[in-house]
Chain A
Amino acid sequence: ARIFMRSRILLQSTKHQRSLTTQLDKSDMNSADGKNPRFPGATAPFTSTPHVTYAENATPIPIYRVMDPDGVMEDKSQDPKLGQETIQKMFRDMVLLNTMDKILYESQRQGRISFYMTNFGEEASHIGSAAALTPTDLVYGQYREAGVLVWRGFTISEFIDQCYGNVDDEGKGRQMPVHYGSKKLNFVTISSPLATQIPQAAGAAYALKLKEGNDRCVIVYFGEGAASEGDCHAAFNFAATLDAPVIFFCRNNGFAISTPSSEQYRGDGIAGRAAGYGMAAIRVDGTDVLAVYNATKVAREYVMKTNKPIILEAMSYRIGHHSTSDDSSAYRSPEDLEVWNTVEHPINKLKNFMRSKGWWNEEDENAFVKSIRKQVLSQISLSEKKPKPDWREMFHDVYYDLPVHLQEQLKQMEEHVEKYKEHYPLKDFKH
C-alpha cells in the first residue's frame, strides 16, 4: 500500500516528472513483454526458455591457407603476387634462420653459448608477417620471433654477438641469449616474463594512435601458452575498450614447453576468444608463408583503418625442443615430428611453390646454405674472441643517471677488484 501511495504522489507531481513516470511505466511493460531489456551490461533480447550456449555448438574459426603442402594455390585470387625477388627473399630469410638455428643450437650443446631457442617450424609465421608490415611498425615479441629481425635486416653478427653478450652486443651483455632488441629496426627488447609485452603493446599502440598523422601500427607476438597469463586477458580487454591499433599475433604451435594445447585451454584456440572481447579475429596456416603474409596485410589494414585491435592466430607445430634446456622426446614421439618436418614444413611448402614457378634450383639453395653456414661459423669464432663489455656496465642504465648509492657500490667493487684481481675473469672483459 505504501508503494502505491508513493506512485500516486509521483503521478501528481510536476509535468516533467509525470511524463518521465509515464515513460518508465511504458518500458516497464515492454520489459515484461521480453522486448526491451534495459540492463546496461549487455545488448541482448530476453528469452523465455533457459538458453544455454554450449561450447560444442560454436563454429570453429577456419584456418586460412593459400597453398597446399605441394605449394599449389587452391584459389588463384589469393595469390599475393609478390614477385620473384620478394619470394626469394622470403625463402632465403627462412633458410638463413633455419641454418643459423641449427649451428647455434649445436654450439650451445658444445657449451660455447649458455642457452638457445630455435625457431624450427615457425619460420613462415615470422617472415610472412614481417613482410606484410612496414619497417616502422613497432614489434613486441616473446622470444621465438627471430625471423622478424632477419626480415628487417638484423645481421648474423648482431644475433651472435647478443648470444655471446660481448662488447658489440647493443644490450651490453646483460640478458640471456635470444633476448634480442633493436631500436633502429623498431623491435622492442625481448624479456623472459611471458605475456608482459602484450598489454605494453596495447599501450604503445594507443599512444602512437594519438600522434598526428600516425602511420604505424603495433604487432605483438606471443605463444598460445603465454595467452593463458592474466596479462593477455588485460591486453585484449584494454585494446578493445580503448581502441588500440594493435595486431595480437598468436603463434599457436601446440606446446608450451611440455604442456600440449589440450591442457592449455578448452575453447576454440586463441582466435576463438576474440568475440568475447568484442574483437576481430583471423586464423591462418602458420606453415604457409603466403597465407600469413595475406592475413597480416588484412589485419594491418583493419587496425590502421579502424584504430581497433585484431587477433591473428597462426597455427603451426613446434618442431624443435622448447629450448636447449628441454628434451621434447620426454613428452612426444619422433613419429609426430616426422610429418611436420617434411610435408608440413614451411620451408618445403614455399620451395614447392617456387619450384612450380621455376624460381628455385637446388644448386642455388645448397650454395646459399653453405655460405650462411660459413658466415655463421666464422661469426661464432669472431664473437667468441671479442671481449665482454667493461664489467662496470653492470651498474649503468639501472637509472638514467648513476645515483649516489650506485656510485658508492661501483667504487666498492672497483677497489675490491683491484685488490683481488686474480680471482676475477678480467682478461675476458674490456678495460
Chain B
Amino acid sequence: MLSRTLNSSGRLLGLLAAPSRSSSHFVYSPDTKCPEVAGSRTKMNMFTAINNALDLAMDKDATALLFGEDVAFGGVFRCSMGLQKKYGRERVFNTPLCEQGIAGFAIGAANVGATAIAELQFADYMFPAFDQIVNEAAKNRYRSGNLFSCGSLTVRAPCGAVGHGALYHSQSPEAYFAHTPGLKIVVPRGPIKAKGLLLASIADPDPCIVLEPKTLYRASVEEVPDAYFESPIGKADVLRTGGDITLVGWGTQIHVLTEVAEMAKKQLGVNCEVIDLVSILPWDKETVCNSVKKTGRALIAHEAPLTCGFGAELAAAIQEECFLHLEAPIQRVTGWDTPFPHVFEPFYLPDKFRCLDAIRKSIDY
C-alpha cells in the first residue's frame, strides 16, 4: 500500500498532468452524441465533470454523503475538489484506509436511506471490498424479500491503463463484478458521459459501480451541459455507423476503436460501426445484436484479460442471437492473460494495430 500512497498523491498525478503523452495508445475523440440538455455548457475534462456531478448530487439531496480515502482535500484525482468546504465535514469526509470498511459503511448508510457515494481510490483496490460488494450490497434486496436494500449506494473507482500504472494502478475489473446479479456497472468514455452516468447511478434504486478510466481524467475535454442530467444505464451508444463490421468496446478503448474505424476506412475501405457498450451490467444486447445482424461481423475489444473477460459474454450472446448472420468468427482483442505489466504496457494493450489486424482477419475470413 506504500506504493499506492506515493503513486496516487504524487508521481501518478504528476505524470498524468505532464503534457508529453506522446506515447499514449489512443487519440481522444470528443463526444458527438451529446444529450440534448437545455442551458449553458462549460468546457470540462472528466475529473471536473465528475466534480460537477458530485456537486449537483450533494446539492440536490441533503442525505448524500461522499467519502473514501483522501476525498476531503479533493481526492488524489481532484474529483472531490471544494466539496468538503461547500457541504461540510459531516457529509464529505476521509475514512480510514480500508476498502472493506468503506464498502460496508456505505451499505449501512444506504440501508437507512442515506445516499452513499463511496470512492475506492483505484479499481485495483476493490478486491478487499469484494465480499461486501458481491455478498452484501448486491444481495441486500433479494435476500430480505425487499424489506431492506442499499439501492442508494454508488461506488466510484478509477480504472484502466494509464501508461505506467503496472499491476496495481491499471486494472479493469468489470468482469468480476459482471458475474454478480444485483449490481449495475457503468464505464464512461468522456466528461459528458461521466457526468450523466454518475448522476444516473446516484439516483438509481440499485447499487451501482462507476468505473472511471483514469487516463481520461485530464486527457478528455468536452463542452459539458451545466444543468443536471442523467445518461441511461443499460443503454449502448452507436457512435459511428457502418455496414461491414461492428466494433464494441467501452471506456478508453472507445477512442482506440474510433481511430481504428478511420484507419479501416482509409487503409482497407471497410466501414465500421462503433458501439460504446457504456453499461456492462445490465448490457444492451438489442443494440449490439441489431448491429451485428446488419454487418455480419463483430470485434470486441477491452483492456482486461481475455479469459472470462466481459468480451466472452458478449461473444457468446452474439453467437447465440446472430448465428445465421455471422460471416466470420467473432474477434476478441483484449489484454493478454497476464498481470498488467509495467514496461511492457505497449505490448500488452489491445491497441489500434492489433484491432486493425483483427478487422482484416474478419473481413478476409
Contact = CB atoms under 8 A, between A and B. Distances in A.
B144 interface: yes
Contacts of A398: 141-142, 181-182
A237 interface: yes
A303 interface: no
Contacts of B65: 206-207, 210
A291 B354 CA distance: 71
A201 B108 contact: yes
Contacts of A169: 145
B26 interface: no
Contacts of B319: none
A196 B132 contact: yes
Interface in A207-223: 207-208, 210, 218
Nearest to B134: A193
Contact of A179 (B106, B132, B143, B234): B143
Nearest to B141: A397
B151 interface: yes
Contacts of A372: none
Given A170-B145, A174-B143, A193 B101 contact: no
Interface stretch (A27-35, A54-62, A181-189): A181-189
Contact of B285 (A179, A182, A203, A405): A405
B109 interface: yes
Contacts of A207: 63, 65, 108-109, 112-114, 116
Contacts of A230: 98, 100, 128
Interface string B85-125: 00000110101101011011111111111101000000000
Contact of A189 (B103, B128, B147, B234): B147
Given A196-B135, A199-B100, A237-B98, A206 B105 contact: yes
A204 interface: yes
A181 B144 contact: yes
Interface residues of B, number: 48
B351 interface: no
A208 B142 CA distance: 24
A248 to B, nearest CB: 13
Interface residues of A, number: 48
A203 B139 contact: no
B212 interface: no
Contact of B132 (A174, A231, A401): A231
Contact of B205 (A188, A241, A400): A400
Contacts of A203: 104-111, 116
Nearest to B132: A196
B195 to A, nearest CB: 23
A368 B316 CA distance: 62
A172 B145 contact: yes
B61 interface: no
A107 interface: no
Contacts of A237: 96, 98, 101
Contacts of A315: none
A184 B62 CA distance: 25
Contacts of A175: 143
A234 interface: yes
Contact of B147 (A171, A241, A400): A171
Contacts of A193: 131, 135-136
Give the one of A140, A175, A199 with max B CB within 10 A: A199
Contacts of A405: 282, 285
Given A191-B135, A193-B136, A196-B132, A231 B100 contact: yes
B205 to A, nearest CB: 4
A174 B147 contact: no
B301 to A, nearest CB: 22
B285 A234 contact: no
Contact of B146 (A205, A206, A218, A397): A397
Nearest to A246: B108
A181 B147 CA distance: 8
Interface string B191-211: 000000000000001100000
A189 B148 contact: yes
Nearest to B286: A404
B148 A183 contact: yes
B136 A188 contact: no
Contact of B95 (A196, A201, A233, A238): A238
A408 to B, nearest CB: 9
Interface string A224-254: 0000001101110110011000000000000
Given A237-B98, A397-B141, 18 more contacts: A138-B112, A174-B142, A175-B143, A189-B144, A191-B143, A193-B131, A196-B104, A199-B105, A199-B132, A210-B63, A210-B114, A218-B108, A231-B101, A237-B96, A238-B105, A400-B205, A404-B286, A405-B282
14 contacts: A170-B145, A179-B143, A183-B148, A189-B145, A189-B148, A191-B136, A193-B135, A206-B105, A206-B108, A210-B65, A234-B104, A237-B96, A397-B142, A403-B234
The 4 closest A-B pairs by CB, nearest first: A203-B108, A199-B104, A234-B101, A200-B108
